Amino acid sequence: MRIFTAAKPMSSMAMAIALATGAVAISGLAFADPAYAQRKKDKKPKTEYSKEFIAVYTPLNDAFNAENPDYAALRPQLATLAPTLNSSDEKHAGGGLIYNFGAQTQDQALQLQGMELMIESGKLGFDQVGRFNFIAYQLSNALGDYPKARNYLQMAINLNFTTASVSAADLQIAMAENYFSQDQYRDGLAFLSQAIESRKMARQDIEESWYRRGLTIAYNQNIVPEVYDFVNGWIGDYADTANWRDAINLTRNLNEYEGAETLDLMRLGSRVGSMTDKQDYILYIESADARRLPQEVKSIIEEGYANGIVSRDDIFVSDSLETANTRIDIDRAELPTLEADADAASATLRTVIAAGDTFLSYGDYAKAERFYVKGLAMEGVERAKALTRLGIAQAEQGKVAEAQATLAQVDGPRKPIAMLWATYAAERAASADLAVAGS
C-alpha cells in the first residue's frame, strides 16, 4: 500500500505564522483631551481612558514609535501597562501596542496577549474580528495551547473568515489537525467527517487530501469503523485502480478473514482491476477452491495467465486449473438438479444457499439472487454472508438501489466488505449514466 504508514499533516495545512513582520499593524490612537473631557461632563466622550492608563501608555507608545527603539529597555515598562487596561478602549489601544511590540521582537506570547486584549475589547471593526481570531488561533497553536487555539479557530470559522490564501476548507482541516496534534484522533476524525459532509451537502468538491489524511490517521491508529467511512468516501470520489487496491488491501489488513470473506473481497478486486500481484490470484484461487467453484477458479486463472501476472509454470495454479477443468462438466450437468432441489418447498437451507453460491460463481446473478432471498427467510441462515452475496448478485445486475439497501444491512466483520461492494455498485451506475449521457 502507498499511503497508510505515516500521519504527517497535509502540505495545505502548513500555514506559516508570519506575524513577526507586523502583519497586523495597529497604528497609534488619538485620545480625548482629559481637560476637554472634564469640561464636558454632561457629554460622554467617544473614548474612555483613565489617567493611570494615559500615564503609562503615552511614553511607551512614543518610545516604541521612535526611530530605533530600545526594545530591551522598554520591555520592563511594557509589563506595567497590562494592569491599567480596564475599559474597552484601553484594552484595544493597549492590546495593539503589546501586539506590535511582540511582532517586532518576535515574541509570540506577547503577540497573543495583545491580540486577546483587542478581541476582548469589542472595538474591532467587523472586517477585523474574523482575521484577529484567526491570528489568535495561529499564535495559540504555535505556543501549544491547543484548546485555546480551537476556540479562536472556531470563532474564525463562525465568522466565515477567509483570505486569498486561506480558504474555509483550510480552516476546517486546521481544526481537525488541532485535534490530531493532541492525539485526540476520534474528535479530529469526527470534525473532518462533518466538514466533508457539509461540503457534499453544498455540492462542493472535496480534496483527495482530506480523505487521505483521515484515512491515514484512522488506519495508523486502528480506529474503526471510521476508517471504513473514509475508505469508501475516498473511493467514491477518487476511484482508480491504485486506490481500489489500497482500499481492498487495507480492509484485508485490518481484519482476520476466513476463506468465504476473502473470496468476496477478491471478487471485488477482480471487478475493479486491482489484482496486480501473483499473490492476489493465489489468494483468490485458494478461497474459491477449484473443487467447489470450478468455473470461477478457471476464469480467474485464465485472467491471470492472459495478463501475464500469473506464470503458467506455477504448479499450484496449474494443478488448480486441472482440478477445475475436471470438475466443470460434472458441475454444469448437476446445475438443473440443484436448481430444482433448491426451488422445492422442502429444500433445506444448505441446498438453497449452495444453489445461490453456485449460480453466483457461474455469473447467473438473477438465479443467485432468487436463492439468497429464499435463504434469508430460513431459520439458521448466516445472515451477513447471505446478505453480502445477495448484494453482489444485485449489483452485478445493475440493481444499484437494491444492492445498496441489501449491503447496508450487513454487520459484523463483513460490514467493510459490504461497504466496498456498495461503493462499487454506485460507481458502476455512475459510469453507466455517463456512457448514456455521452451517447
How far is the CA of 351 from the CAs of 202, 338, 342, 345, in angstroms? 49, 8, 6, 12
Residue 88 pLDDT: 95
Q: Residue 169 — pLDDT band, cuts 50, 70, 90?
A: confident
Question: For 326-374, what is each residue's pLDDT tens digit?
Answer: 999 999 999 999 999 999 999 999 999 999 999 999 999 999 999 999 9
Give the span between the Cα atoms of 306 and 18, in whole angstroms: 58
How far is the CA of 297 from the CAs of 190, 268, 285, in angstroms? 42, 15, 6
Q: Residue 198 — pLDDT band, cuts 50, 70, 90?
A: confident
Q: What percent of the chain has pLDDT over 90?
A: 79
Over residues 170-175, the mean pLDDT reads: 88
Q: Residue 432 — pLDDT band, cuts 50, 70, 90?
A: low
Residue 185 pLDDT: 96
How far is the CA of 305 from the CAs of 163, 188, 281, in angstroms? 55, 46, 10
Residue 312 pLDDT: 95
Window from 59-73, 193-207, 388-402 with minimum mean pLDDT: 193-207
Give the span between the Cα atoms of 114 and 311, in whole angstroms: 70
Q: Residue 249 — pLDDT band, cuts 50, 70, 90?
A: very high
Is residue 13's pLDDT more than 60?
no
Q: In 159-258, where does DSSP find H-type helix?
A: 168-181, 185-201, 208-220, 226-237, 241-253
Give the span between the Cα atoms of 155 and 177, in whole angstroms: 16
> Nine-digit cell at 330?
460434472
Residue 17 pLDDT: 30
* Displacement of CA 436 from its chain's centroid (Å): 32
Over residues 188-206, the mean pLDDT reads: 89
Question: For 84-125, what is each residue's pLDDT tens digit?
Answer: 999 999 999 999 999 999 999 999 999 999 999 999 999 999
Question: Cell 475508505 maps to which residue?
Answer: 231
Window from 9-18, 63-72, 406-415 with minimum mean pLDDT: 9-18
Residue 194 pLDDT: 87
Question: For 381-426, what is each residue's pLDDT tens digit?
Answer: 999 999 999 999 999 999 999 999 999 999 999 999 999 999 999 9
Q: Tell if the pTM clears 0.75, that is, is over it.
A: yes
Give the span between the Cα atoms of 34 and 47, in whole angstroms: 11
For CA atoms 260, 265, 266, 271, the dihedral sign is positive
427, burial (CB in 10 Å: exposed 0-12, middle 13-18, buried 19+): middle
